Structure 1
């Protein structure tokens, strides 16, 4: 099948999102030498709004304008962080995932101007994060620390830290790597210390379903192991029907012959933690995601999620 001469790539306009697009452009240039790409940046409601995401309708706030550009034909390909794509409802009708790129680091990093690690932070340290997932886990493991709300792209958050709005900051390792700022990280947290969000470190390429030529052209960028991990994680979240105020975390790991999924649901205060961890063979990641969700529902996850305002 022929490769389109020009691929217009739509993305959020933040430095992080544009760095992600550059990765896609570079990989496309290797796969299809000579293909031309053009970036169509959009500013989303989630980028403009600095308050509580739930009041904007949750995570879809980062994808709605991108989806609209794709469906209107103003762009051909969208680049998303999987963690920002709602899993409690299907993709917009007429669109499909064409590829999940090889996964980046799923861990979180601490940034402390004094060089301290998480375990070294003294009582009362103000940690900047608006993530309900991070806040719940810190409340459970480091209750002596105080979380202060902090939104904005990574660069903006680092500016706020420098201005004294917080004493330390939690950011995704993959994001810091994308903007070339891993030098500021003073502690990289294990997944046991800070369980990642569903879809962490995964970039998804989304196309219009009827654009068979483009779907075929970009599918070669997909990584099979990442595809299995993303499928298990998103099915888990779909069955759980979590909302953006639900402290839900989890990650799948694909080996050569197996796939595992570990997931947790917390109360916002970190006092209740539900855990599930299951393994599957090579087949059917979606069944694994469903099974882990059911295991947590049996432990009371539904009541826990529904009891949180959103």
Structure 2
């Protein structure tokens, strides 16, 4: 058997490495002749865990751009990304998503520090408590669910954030100040499971209460559009249902022309030959929300995503997005 090598780039975080190890395992099973080499990258977003992601060009600039450049230059055959971190434009010149893995649970969860009960937070409507998150979507939903909560800027890898929570560390702010300590964090359930910390979940939010981020729970593998050998190998681990859902949700982002400071959410699921897609746009205070649900043929995901996105625009989503767009 002739050995074939493939180099996959990834971030150095515990969760990113776990996701990439999963890709390597799946490829090794599907193509035993394949030798998968994992190349670790320190991204801008990993090196700077204080600033808002906006100054780095959002999640795309902070976590994706550097690894993408290595694929484009030929240093890598492929790159691992969490789909929710990828820029919302539908296609990137010269690159394609060769595979999306079967979707992990897409929901968000609340992690609380020792000595605090989730019932205390619920009963007080959040008054006197601080919830940490860097996601504007999570912050907006948190303010809707707990109207008197204080949301604080909180960044870092999943295991690092929980360590900061338990140690009652103050969080450095982009303006040089500090906030905290946090009493709870909102995090992705799938991320907590990847790093072995699912036991810390105090409350899981249903999609009805907190609609997930577009692509949340889906691991994507990107490669050069003209690299047909790599595309063929990646097709062996591609999950059709996840890919269809990812395409539908990302089409909503494409239509809305959102930015990294826009509280946009979207989640789809397939039932037989049909797909149900729900997407929403919230103002950053969580006071106003526009939500649209539509169904359509599962094998035409972008048409469904386009219809949902256009209906959101008809209902005023553009105005909300414009208000959250950063100034010059």
TM-score class normalised by the smaller sequence: over 0.9
Q: How far is 1:120 from its partner? A: 4.9
Q: How far is 1:29 from its partner? A: 1.4
1:235-274 to structure 2, matched below 5 A, reads 235-274=251-290
Contact 1:88–1:238 (CA<8 Å) still a contact in 2?
A: yes
Contact 2:99–2:235 (CA<8 Å) still a contact in 1?
A: yes
Q: How far is 1:4 from its partner? A: 6.6
Structure-1 residue corresponding to 2:182: 166
Contact 1:3–1:217 (CA<8 Å) still a contact in 2?
A: no
Structure-2 residue corresponding to 1:223: 239
Look up the SS of the partner of 2:88 in the other structure: coil
Structure-2 residue corresponding to 1:204: 220
Q: How far is 1:156 from its partner? A: 1.2
Contact 1:9–1:76 (CA<8 Å) still a contact in 2?
A: yes
Contact 1:97–1:207 (CA<8 Å) still a contact in 2?
A: yes
Q: How far is 1:223 from its partner? A: 0.8
When residues 3 and 85 of structure 1 are mapped into structure 2, their CA distance, relative to the original with a 3 A threshold, is farther
**Is 1:282 aligned to residue 294 of structure 2?**
no
Look up the SS of the partner of 2:266 in the other structure: strand
Contact 1:235–1:286 (CA<8 Å) still a contact in 2?
A: yes
Structure-2 residue corresponding to 1:83: 84
Q: Any gaps of 5 or more consecutive residues in structure 1?
A: none
Contact 1:9–1:37 (CA<8 Å) still a contact in 2?
A: yes
Q: Distance in 2 between matches of 1:196 and 1:3?
A: 43
Look up the SS of the partner of 2:9 in the other structure: strand
Contact 1:116–1:187 (CA<8 Å) still a contact in 2?
A: no
Q: How far is 1:283 from its partner? A: 3.3
1:106-117 to structure 2, matched below 5 A, reads 106-112=106-112, 113-114=114-115, 116-117=117-118
Q: How far is 1:128 from its partner? A: 0.9
Structure-2 residue corresponding to 1:36: 35
1:126 pairs with one of 130, 143, 147:
130
Q: How far is 1:163 from its partner? A: 2.1
**Is 1:143 aligned to residue 147 of structure 2?**
yes
Q: Distance in 1 between matches of 2:161 and 2:228?
A: 40
Runs of 4+ in structure 1 deviating by more than 4 angstroms, as ranges, are: none
CA-to-partner distance for each residue in 1:71-96, whole Å, 9 max, x for gaps?
A: 121111111100000013632x2211
When residues 296 and 146 of structure 1 are mapped into structure 2, their CA distance, relative to the original with a 3 A threshold, is same
TM-score (normalised: structure 1): 0.95
Look up the SS of the partner of 1:128 in the other structure: strand
Q: Any gaps of 5 or more consecutive residues in structure 2?
A: 169-180
Aligned residues: 308
Structure-1 residue corresponding to 2:175: none
1:84-103 to structure 2, matched below 5 A, reads 84-88=85-89, 90-91=91-92, 93-103=93-103
* Structure 1 range deviating more: 121-130 or 12-21: 121-130
When residues 155 and 244 of structure 1 are mapped into structure 2, their CA distance, relative to the original with a 3 A threshold, is same
Q: Distance in 1 between matches of 2:264 and 2:3?
A: 40
Look up the SS of the partner of 1:207 in the other structure: strand
When residues 3 and 18 of structure 1 are mapped into structure 2, their CA distance, relative to the original with a 3 A threshold, is farther
**Is 1:194 aligned to residue 210 of structure 2?**
yes
For the aligned residue pairs, the C-alpha RMSD in angstroms reads 1.6
Look up the SS of the partner of 1:63 in the other structure: helix
Q: How far is 1:141 from its partner? A: 2.1
TM-score (normalised: structure 2): 0.90
Structure-2 residue corresponding to 1:104: 104
Q: Distance in 1 between matches of 2:109 and 2:123?
A: 14
Q: How far is 1:307 from its partner? A: 1.4
Structure-1 residue corresponding to 2:45: 46
